Structure 1
Amino acid sequence: MTTAQQQAITDLITKMADDELILGHRNSEWTGLGPIMEEDIAFSSMAQDKIGHAWALYRILQEQLQGQDPDQFAFMRAEADFKCCHLVEMPIGTYDFSLMRHFLFDHAEAVRYDSLQQSSFEPLQQLSRKLKGELKYHTLHADAWIIQLCRAGEESYNRLQAALETCLPLAFGIFEPAKEEQELTGANIYPGERALFERWMDNIYPVLVNASLNMPDPAGISPQFGGRYGEHTPHLRPLLQEMGEVFRLDPTANW
């Protein structure tokens, strides 16, 4: 593996892990607040899954790419060193927003991991196969609730339509291209952000049609880029302070 490829893989894994860590923390904020007990449990469970995925990715960085200890890397970095997209940083808002974010992000995550099942980088290939079942459950859960709530009445439908229009520019930012992307596509490590974006659109469109939601014209949407390069929303810094508060009391402690 060349130095350029190693740097590009490190960047890719960091983006994936940071997305999962931050969204996992955000979704955990629904614990005790879910609209019904079933959803309270489901969102909490999926939040735990995402944080587990982040930890597994940080371990790959540590063990395969000479990265830092996962806890140190997750909790001690500066805001500008995070590579998460803007979508995952946003506060949970009302349930319609969090549900739409869950739907759009988890389908993007499923497409990304599915593509990695053929990756030439074996640690990512193995992890993607291990997580296949969890990701299937996450997307099925999101699809079911999107369709169910869109058929629950005019107010419910209108709120989800508005949430879709709010979330799409943020969701497009998931697929912000990397400068080193050719190093990965040329080595068959992953297919590139444009290819993943197109697969994602193919996956979410039938669900939106089934829910009778109107997909805005993608050509008219300005993606909210910047997160992959350390430019973040005002919401990330306080979240990082809260998330790492206990760890930073004594970073060398053994738990």
Structure 2
Amino acid sequence: MNAALQKAITTLITSMADDALILGHRNSEWTGLGPIMEEDIAFSSMAQDKIGHAWALYRILQEHLGGEDPDQFAFMRAAKDFTCCHLAELPIGGYDFSLMRHFLFDHAEAVRYESLQQCSFEPLQQLSKKVKGELKYHTLHADAWLLQLCRGGEESRQRMQAALDRCFPLAAGIFEPGPQDALLADAGIYPGEQALYDKWLNTIYPLLVNASLNLPDPAEVAPQYGGRYGNHTPHLQALLQEMGEVFRLDPTAGW
């Protein structure tokens, strides 16, 4: 593997891992706060899955691409060194926002990992097969609750429409293009961000129609980019301080 391709794969995996780590911690904040006990359990379980996915990706960086120890890499970087999308880092807000974020993000993740089933970089291909079942559960959960809330009365549907309108530009930012996309596509790593974005739109559109929600016109929406290049909202720094508080007490400790 040449240096340019190795760097491109490292960048891709880091962004995937950072998304999963940060959103996993955000989802964990619903523990004890869900509208019903079932949702406390569901969001906690999905948070664990996402943090597990992040750890597995950081391990690939360490073992195959010369990366750092996963814990050091996760907890000791500055906010500017993270490459998560803006959607992942925002506070949980109301349940309507978190549920819509869950729906949009997890379908994006499912599309991305599905594309990695044919990845020429074997560690990513193997991981995609391992997490397939978990992602299926995540999207089924999101789809079921989207329908339930949108069919729970006009006020509920309107709130979910407002959440979609707010989240869609942020979710489009998941697919922020990069200069390495063509190189990764040519190497058979994945098809590139634009191809994944198009497939994601085709996936979520019928689900939103079934829920009586209107997808904002992608041609008229400006995706909220910047996260892949270290430009973040102020919310990320506050989350990182809380997330790494215990680890930073003694980064060399064995737990």
TM-score by length of 1: 0.99
1:40-119 alignment runs, 5 A limit: 40-119=40-119
Give, in whole Å, the separation in 1 of the partners of 2:181 and 2:107.
Answer: 21
For the aligned residues, what is the CA RMSD? 0.4
1:66-215 alignment runs, 5 A limit: 66-215=66-215
SS state at 1:23 partner: helix
Q: Is 4-13 or 211-220 further displaced after alignment? A: 211-220
Give, in whole Å, the separation in 1 of the partners of 2:70 and 2:76.
Answer: 10
Deviations 1:99-122 (A, max 9, x none): 000000000000000000000000
Residue 9 of structure 1 is matched in structure 2 by: 9
Same amino acid, percent of matched pairs: 78
Give, in whole Å, the separation in 2 of the partners of 1:206 and 1:27.
Answer: 26
Give, in whole Å, the separation in 1 of the partners of 2:216 and 2:7.
Answer: 36
Give, in whole Å, the separation in 1 of the partners of 2:79 and 2:39.
Answer: 31
Deviations 1:219-249 (A, max 9, x none): 1101000000000001000000000000000
Deviation at 1:93, TM superposition (A): 0.1
Give, in whole Å, the separation in 1 of the partners of 2:214 and 2:186.
Answer: 36
Q: Which amino acid aligns with 1:118?
A: Q
SS state at 2:101 partner: helix
Question: How many residue pairs end up in the alignment?
Answer: 255
1:34-45 alignment runs, 5 A limit: 34-45=34-45
SS state at 1:131 partner: helix
Deviation at 1:178, TM superposition (A): 1.2
Give, in whole Å, the separation in 2 of the partners of 1:224 and 1:96.
Answer: 20
Q: Which amino acid aligns with 2:141?
A: H
Deviation at 1:202, TM superposition (A): 0.7
Deviation at 1:181, TM superposition (A): 1.4
Give, in whole Å, the separation in 2 of the partners of 1:243 and 1:20.
Answer: 14
Give, in whole Å, the separation in 2 of the partners of 1:216 and 1:122.
Answer: 37
Unmatched 5+ residue regions in structure 1?
none
Q: Which amino acid aligns with 1:234?
A: P
Deviation at 1:37, TM superposition (A): 0.4
Deviation at 1:182, TM superposition (A): 1.6
Determine if the alignment matches structure 1 residue 217 to structure 2 residue 217.
Answer: yes
Give, in whole Å, the separation in 2 of the partners of 1:216 and 1:142.
Answer: 19
Q: Is 32-41 or 174-183 further displaced after alignment? A: 174-183
Give, in whole Å, the separation in 1 of the partners of 2:164 and 2:79.
Answer: 27
Give, in whole Å, the separation in 1 of the partners of 2:201 and 2:181.
Answer: 20
Deviation at 1:180, TM superposition (A): 1.3
Unmatched 5+ residue regions in structure 2?
none
Q: Is 215-224 or 160-169 further displaced after alignment? A: 215-224
Q: Which amino acid aligns with 2:102?
A: H
Deviations 1:48-90 (A, max 9, x none): 0000000000000000000000000000001110000000010
Q: Which contiguous aligned blocks of 4+ residues in structure 1 show a shift greater than 4 angstroms?
A: none
SS state at 1:117 partner: helix
Q: Which amino acid aligns with 1:232?
A: H
